A and B are shown apart, each in its own frame.
Chain A
Amino acid sequence: MAHILLDNVGVAFSVRQHGRMTLKEFVVRGMFRRKVNPKIAVQALRDVNIDVRDGDRLGIIGHNGAGKSTLLKTIAGVYPPSAGRCVTQGRISSLFDVTLGFEPDATGWENIAYRGYLQGETPRTIAKRIDAIAEFTELGDRLGMPLRYYSTGMTVRLGFAIATSIEPEILIIDEILSAGDIGFQQKARERMESMIRTARVVVLASHDLPTLEGLCDKVMWMDHGTVRMYGPASEVIAAYSGRAPALAQAA
């Protein structure tokens, strides 16, 4: 069973006012007991509660900087919660940057393997999948070329094809990707949506409200690191879109 449980989770970053502290500063500060470069705590998330299980599709909405990505990365295990607890059961696959792990000087084929290992594949499992991935990219012979000669669109196509070749238990998505030209975009969208349907649990952050409403059953509205509203997709999205223009005016 796949399960994500966040219990009053808070994430705080501490940053220094003037960038990083050097060893020299550390020693000098120790000698004079004076705070030259104070720490500032940035509370990125506060009191977030999530409990989703098999079959749940959770959408996350909110303005830029509301804490959507931080929340996703906390669930994915990149950030440790500084308060509360975060427990997950099931293999987590996250789609943050589909081109992470690409090596410009290696060919498309080699990059499929590199990126595959990053996703937890082994040479054996990747060998089974590599033809299907290659076919999906529609790149043909160009897969034998070093990646540095690819256009941006081609690179994203390749990354997308590999990243979505998995069968995830828990799927974490930061913004639905649209890759390539119109034909490929349609195909990519279908692939993404079928993935979202087959995964056991999905957490999806997006600004694309109509799509979210179609794919998710619950939506969480994040605002300044806290949960502003949480409930059935249609209700929260209605409240959010009714409120969004007013906020924009106030700003």
Chain B
Amino acid sequence: MTAALEYCNEIWNKRYFWSSLVWVDLRRRYRRSWLGIGWSLMHPIIMTVVFCSVFCQLFGQDVRDYAPFVLSGLAFWNFISGVTGDGCQSFYASEHYIRQHPAPLAIYPLRTTLGMGLHFLMALCVLLVMVWAIRGPSNLATLWALVPALALLFMMGWSVAICLGVVNVVFPDMQHLVQVGLQVLFYTTPVFYSAKLLEGHGVDWLVRWNPLAAALDLIRDPILNARLPSAHAWGVAGLATMILGTIAAWILSRVERRLIFHL
């Protein structure tokens, strides 16, 4: 236990180092592009337009309900695919630091997760503006629930990035497998369709016990439905985060010193 606290303390001591890495990553990604950081928002917005024009035509969904719904789903999914896809690369991307500079390994997946988290926050701001423009600020009373929800999502993302990062160092073809897995998850998570569509078809358990669907509910309920997320959603997402966090901590305790030999 003291070892774990010491480890966290060491991460905190290096905060200026990893936060400068996050900052440099952001700059590098958008340098010399006229939209700059706006590009990270363009992707979910464009996809929202595409989904809206298809689904509102085909299924007669109301744009005013569907656009915020799908934008929140896609912004969330961008974060998930970022921490898994880039998470796989998190140790390789920082290889030159690991080779010369002893520091807690967890800061490198943290760098990836924080970068993705910042993009997600920006997309959430766009979403809030959209919701307020459509319905007025009716959700102000429930927005506080986003704070613990985002903290939980952040821990989930960090744990996933640590696990996949380590596995990908040992087995470099992991990231292809992850891409396939992400595709499957994308369709089994109510990103662009409502979970209600599945009810009565015998597959609603797929969404009910899917931690990603639960985490997405934690984000959607306070913003879109102006209500606090259900205890079920907190439970499923919280349990999944605890399991992932434990696995990540266990993996780190095994490979912390030895990962460098595999790089």
User: Interface residues, chain A, CB within 8 Å of chain B?
Assistant: 13-14, 20-24, 26, 73, 76-80, 94, 96-97, 100-101, 103, 105-106, 113-114, 117-118, 120-123
Contacts and interface: CB of A to CB of B under 8 A. Distances in A.
Residue of B17, B98, B174 with most chain A CB atoms under a 10 A cut-off: B17
5 contacts: A21-B171, A23-B173, A23-B177, A79-B261, A100-B101
B28 A105 contact: yes
Contacts of B101: 78, 100, 118
A128 to B, nearest CB: 15
B171 A22 contact: yes
Contacts of B257: 80
Interface in B63-106: 96-102
Interface of B is mostly: helix
Contacts of B13: 120
A105 B261 contact: no
Nearest to B169: A20
A78 B102 CA distance: 5
A39 B99 CA distance: 21
Ranked nearest first, the 4 interchain pairs of A and B with the lowest CB-CB distance are A77-B102, A80-B257, A23-B171, A117-B16
Given A106-B24, A114-B24, A122 B16 contact: yes
Nearest to B18: A117
B20 A105 contact: no
Nearest to A92: B102
Given A21-B170, A78-B102, 19 more contacts: A22-B171, A22-B172, A23-B177, A73-B100, A76-B102, A78-B101, A80-B257, A97-B96, A100-B96, A100-B97, A100-B100, A101-B97, A103-B24, A105-B28, A113-B20, A114-B24, A117-B20, A120-B17, A123-B16
Given A13-B261, A100-B97, A105 B31 contact: yes
Nearest to B19: A117
Please classify how large the interface on chain B is, using the bins under 10, 10 to 19, 20 to 34, 35 or more.
20 to 34
Contact of B17 (A14, A26, A79, A117): A117
B141 interface: no
A96 B24 contact: no
Contacts of A117: 16-17, 20
Interface in B209-263: 257-258, 260-261
Interface of B: 13-14, 16-17, 20, 24, 27-28, 31, 96-102, 170-174, 177, 257-258, 260-261
Nearest to A104: B28
Contacts of A96: 100
Interface of A is mostly: loop
Contacts of B173: 22-24
Contacts of A100: 96-97, 100-101
B254 to A, nearest CB: 12
A13 B261 CA distance: 6
B259 to A, nearest CB: 10
B167 to A, nearest CB: 9
B171 A78 contact: no
A79 B260 contact: yes
Contacts of A114: 20, 24
Given A23-B173, A117-B20, A78 B260 contact: yes
Contacts of A122: 16
B242 to A, nearest CB: 27
A122 B261 CA distance: 30
Residue of B24, B27, B96, B97 with most chain A CB atoms under a 10 A cut-off: B24
A51 to B, nearest CB: 21
Contacts of A121: 16
Residue of A14, A76, A113, A114 with most chain B CB atoms under a 10 A cut-off: A114
Contacts of B174: 23
A96 B96 CA distance: 11
A80 B173 CA distance: 27
Given A23-B171, A80-B257, A80-B258, A94 B20 contact: no
A13 B14 CA distance: 28
Contacts of B261: 13-14, 79
Contacts of B31: 105
A159 to B, nearest CB: 13
A76 to B, nearest CB: 6
Nearest to A81: B257
A78 B20 contact: no
Nearest to B177: A23
